[in-house]
Structure 1
């Protein structure tokens, strides 16, 4: 039996100095938003941090930290 195709979700990536260091995927928006906030605290102190939350289905960026675009 073939594996089921996952439903579109929210994709979260943390970068340091322009390179991805960790990523994750959550189906529920509330869970992804909680993880986003946690990642800001956990990875925000890295050199040149950037954390981005994207909706996989639309490709729309839902949130980013810091707010300024590099």
Structure 2
């Protein structure tokens, strides 16, 4: 697990990592995920993934 947090949110647009964020709180990470979907979800090539780095589970992904 990264020292910055257990939950990693990755925003990819056009096949390139645009932003990566780390949070210790799952609730906070899920709010950030929802915010990114709202802000970037209209872009055809946007991919957003929230991963629990402790378990390797993909918690949420869009689309």
Give the shorter-chain TM-score range.
Answer: 0.7 to 0.9
Which residues in structure 2 correspond to 1:46-61 (within 5 Å)?
Answer: 46-61=43-58
User: 2:23 maps to what in 1?
Assistant: 26
SS in 1 for 2:43: coil
User: 1:64 maps to what in 2?
Assistant: 61
The two structures have a TM-score, normalised by structure 1, of 0.78
Runs ≥4 in structure 1, deviation > 3 angstroms?
none
Larger strand percent: 2
Q: How many residues align?
A: 62
- Find the partner of 2:6 among 6, 9, 15: 9
Residue 43 of structure 1: CA displacement?
A: 1.7
For structure 2, list consecutive stretches of 5 or more residues without a partner in the other structure. Answer: none
Q: In the aligned structure 1, how far is the partner of 2:4 from the partner of 2:35?
A: 23
The two structures have a TM-score, normalised by structure 2, of 0.86
Residue 47 of structure 1: CA displacement?
A: 4.1
For structure 1, list consecutive stretches of 5 or more residues without a partner in the other structure. Answer: none
